[in-house]
């Protein structure tokens, strides 16, 4: 077997050869793994690629004993994202070299079964042209170690291969008339849901935005009405992002007075104020390496806003009573139900902090604009509440679901969840009826919708969802619903629906 020096000297011509390679994507992947196998003298080489959401890791290609090894290409390929060894490389964004691969210590179901056990493994994170994590290159041997000096040339090899794969895919899209710049997500699976519930076009846009910041360290500002689930989105960004192995800490900025909030965030030293009997670390220190979620950031006092701005700009904090600052590595996700730009104009929020926080805003839609998500959320909450109350599952009547869809829900998802919990307590049987809901602000017996009213609610929901999905384009909406355009316009006029009508 050639030594590491010889292997490193071979890296340059191999990389040059790969950069000039042309062909189909699968052919290129096989050639990439063949080069990696030859360079490292490892019989097994595997290429794993992350999906758009960075929550799915799939084996794209593998090379074994000098030939391609078939990969399962079923409808639902195996997701190796949660495997301990692969997850370490992804979450830490660093290589892993195991020289004593003990099957009793490490689970390796992603390695093919062979007559001889695998004894050493090298796993390398691969990055795309924007230096974002895109996949993994894995090599394994039955005997002998894999030199650490191989990590750098193999990483370059994989990165060039991914770049070439991206170019080939773009060329194929152009040849087939695909234009990703105008493509809209058509299914929930395209971006994933990150543990959130909903398939409406409005939520698909939220999922698309979440996927952009999972592995980017930008500060995120989440907006939306009260009860839309801002903390759930913040947790999703953390749990599916590159800091998932570290702490997630949440603090409501309106829950504490200014002095107490300052000591809670920044910590203090002994003697800093009356009652400070010992040093105490703040939430920034507790979240070091992880994520700090600041809810209701619009209610933070102006004096504290200046301190927060310094943390964002310099990455440093100074505890109360201390003369020294120290660095922290914290990702800040902020949320508010207020319109911060209006707060800035009124002098209630610092303009410089507003622009620093708003690098990547995510606006959550109110529940009334989420169409069929109301039904999906209702079914989910009803199932969870029945489990919590330790009662048999309840079923929904069609009239109850139609009645629910007619409500505007000023309290959004939080209101819906509480409403269903109350309805289940009022329901003596196992069938939820409109009278169990008793929506606030509606007169008695108003829940008794006739058949025509129920159908109009369903029809209105379909029209609005179709228009949202196609960006207000009435021709495309009519085609999707199987209607003549004139019929669509008539029904929109009859139901009071316009291209920008909120639900």
pLDDT in tens, 465-480: 788 777 788 888 888 8
Looking at residue 436, its pLDDT comes to: 84
Give the domain-ending residue among 174, 198, 220: 174
Cut 0.75: pTM above it: no
Examine the domain organization and report whether 375 and 429 are in the same domain: yes
pLDDT of 129 > 60? The answer is yes
Examine the domain organization and report whether 46 and 127 are in the same domain: yes
Regarding beta strands 44-50 and 133-141, do their DSSP bridges make them parallel or antiparallel, or are they unpaired? Answer: antiparallel
Examine the domain organization and report whether 340 and 201 are in the same domain: yes
Looking at residue 276, its pLDDT comes to: 80
Q: 459: domain CATH number?
A: 1.10.10
Examine the domain organization and report whether 41 and 136 are in the same domain: yes
CB of 219 within 8 A of CB of 313?
A: no
Examine the domain organization and report whether 82 and 98 are in the same domain: yes
CA distance readout (Å), 459 to 180, 325, 463: 31, 60, 6
Examine the domain organization and report whether 164 and 217 are in the same domain: no
CA 261 to chain CA mean position, Å: 29
Looking at residue 185, its pLDDT comes to: 33
Those residues whose C-beta lies under 8 Å from the C-beta of residue 429, and which sit 6 or more positions away, are none
Examine the domain organization and report whether 463 and 341 are in the same domain: no
Examine the domain organization and report whether 438 and 502 are in the same domain: no
List the domain range (segments joined by +) for residue 455: 450-503
End-to-end CA distance of the chain: 68
pLDDT band per the 50, 70, 90 thresholds, residue 3: very low
Examine the domain organization and report whether 313 and 328 are in the same domain: yes
Which tokens go with 476? 């495309």
> Is residue 46 one of the residues assigned to a domain?
yes
**Which one is predicted more confidently, 309 or 435?**
309
Rounded to an integer, what distance in angstroms lies between the CA atom of residue 106 and that of residue 243? 22
The DSSP H or E segment spanning 49 is strand 44-50
Examine the domain organization and report whether 434 and 484 are in the same domain: no
Environment class of residue 334 by beta-carbon count within 10 Å: exposed (0-12), middle (13-18) or buried (19+)? buried
> Is residue 201 one of the residues assigned to a domain?
yes
Give the domain-ending residue among 365, 383, 405: 365
What's the rounded mean pLDDT across residues 309-330?
91
Convert the pLDDT of each residue in 396-424 to its tens digit: 887 788 888 878 889 999 999 999 999 99
Give the domain-ending residue among 313, 334, 365: 365
> Is residue 182 one of the residues assigned to a domain?
no
pLDDT of 193 > 90? The answer is no
Alpha carbons within 13 angstroms on the beta-carbon side of residue 87 total 16
Convert the pLDDT of each residue in 425-479 to its tens digit: 988 888 888 888 876 554 444 445 555 665 666 677 777 778 877 778 888 888 8
Examine the domain organization and report whether 346 and 253 are in the same domain: yes
Examine the domain organization and report whether 461 and 439 are in the same domain: no
Domain count, the chain: 4
Convert the pLDDT of each residue in 52-88 to its tens digit: 767 788 899 999 999 998 887 555 678 888 788 998 8
Q: Which of 154-158, 284-288, 467-471 ranks highest by mean pLDDT? A: 284-288
pLDDT of 16 > 70? The answer is no
């Amino acid at each position: 077997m050639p030594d590491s020096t010889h292997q490193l000297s071979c890296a340059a011509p191999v990389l040059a050869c790969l950069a000039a390679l042309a062909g189909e994507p699968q052919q290129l992947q096989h050639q990439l793994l063949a080069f990696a196998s030859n360079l490292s003298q490892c019989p097994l080489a595997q290429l794993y690629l992350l999906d758009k959401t960075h929550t799915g890791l799939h084996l794209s290609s593998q090379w074994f004993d000098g030939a391609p090894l078939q990969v399962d290409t079923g409808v639902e390929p195996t997701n190796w994202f949660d495997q301990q060894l692969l997850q370490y490389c992804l979450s830490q964004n660093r290589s892993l070299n195991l020289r004593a691969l003990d099957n009793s210590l490490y689970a390796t179901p992603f390695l093919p079964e062979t007559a001889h056990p695998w004894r050493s493994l090298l796993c390398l994170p691969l990055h795309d042209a924007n230096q974002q994590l895109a996949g993994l290159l894995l090599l394994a041997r039955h005997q002998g170690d894999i030199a650490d000096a191989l990590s750098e040339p193999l990483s370059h090899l994989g990165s060039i291969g991914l770049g070439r794969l991206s170019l080939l895919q773009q060329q194929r899209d152009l040849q087939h008339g695909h234009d990703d710049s105008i493509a809209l997500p058509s299914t929930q699976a395209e971006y994933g849901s990150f543990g959130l519930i909903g398939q409406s076009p409005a939520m698909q846009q939220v999922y698309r935005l979440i996927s952009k910041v999972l592995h980017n360290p930008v500060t995120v500002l989440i907006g939306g009405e009260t009860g839309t689930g801002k903390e759930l989105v913040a947790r999703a960004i953390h749990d599916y992002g590159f800091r998932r192995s570290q702490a997630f800490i949440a603090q409501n900025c309106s829950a504490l007075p200014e002095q107490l909030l300052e000591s809670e965030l920044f910590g203090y030293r002994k003697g800093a104020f009356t009652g400070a009997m010992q040093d105490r670390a703040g939430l920034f220190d507790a979240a070091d390496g992880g994520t700090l979620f600041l809810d209701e950031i619009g209610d933070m006092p102006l004096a504290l806003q200046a301190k927060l701005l310094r943390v964002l700009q310099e990455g440093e904090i100074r505890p109360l009573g201390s003369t020294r600052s120290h660095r922290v590595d914290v990702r800040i996700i902020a949320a508010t139900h207020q319109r911060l730009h209006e707060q800035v104009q009124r002098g209630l929020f610092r303009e410089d902090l507003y622009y620093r926080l708003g690098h990547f805003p995510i606006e959550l839609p109110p529940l009334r604009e989420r169409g069929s998500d109301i039904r999906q959320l209702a079914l989910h909450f009803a199932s969870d509440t029945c489990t919590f109350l330790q009662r048999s599952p309840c079923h929904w009547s069609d009239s109850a679901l139609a009645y629910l869809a007619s409500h505007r829900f000023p309290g959004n998802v939080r209101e819906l969840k509480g409403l269903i919990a109350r309805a289940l307590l009022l329901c003596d049987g196992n069938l939820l009826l409109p009278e169990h809901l008793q929506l606030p602000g509606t007169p008695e017996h108003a829940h008794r919708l006739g058949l025509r009213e129920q159908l109009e609610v369903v029809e209105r929901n379909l029209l609005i969802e179709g228009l949202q999905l196609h960006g207000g384009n009435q021709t495309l909406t009519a085609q999707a619903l199987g209607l003549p355009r004139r019929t669509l316009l008539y029904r929109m006029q009859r139901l009071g629906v316009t291209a920008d009508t909120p639900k």
